[in-house]
Structure 1
């Protein structure tokens, strides 16, 4: 797992589709879903940590872009 698309694909395999037209809101929902999958012992610790890292990096990128506008 090395990009956001991988996280979208992972969530799709478990029947979770997230698109709210709000990129930050999508990231919050994705993080919640990833946490729930980990709590349910569906994800191993490595995938869980990598997914959270990618989501947080994307959130930071979006915040920086918003500030530059």
Structure 2
């Protein structure tokens, strides 16, 4: 998993389609969903960690653009 698209595909495999029209809310929602999936044992620690790193990088990029 290397891109945000990969994270979206992971979520889609489990029926989570994310589109709010607000990128920051979408990223936060994806992080919450991934946390739930990890604590429920649906995804393993490696998948969760990689996906969260990607989401954090995307949030940081978004915050840099808005400053």
Fold shared, TM-score > 0.5 on shorter chain? yes
Q: Which runs of 5+ in 1 are unaligned?
A: none
TM-score (norm 1): 0.94
Question: For each residue in 1:23-63, what CA deviation from the matched residue of structure 2 results, as whole angstroms up to 9, or x when unmatched?
Answer: 00000100000001101101111111011100000000000
TM-score (norm 2): 0.97
- State the match for 1:15 in structure 2: 15
The alignment yields a C-alpha RMSD, in angstroms, of: 0.5
Q: Moved runs in structure 1, 4+ residues, more than 2 A?
A: none
Q: Paired residues, what number? A: 67
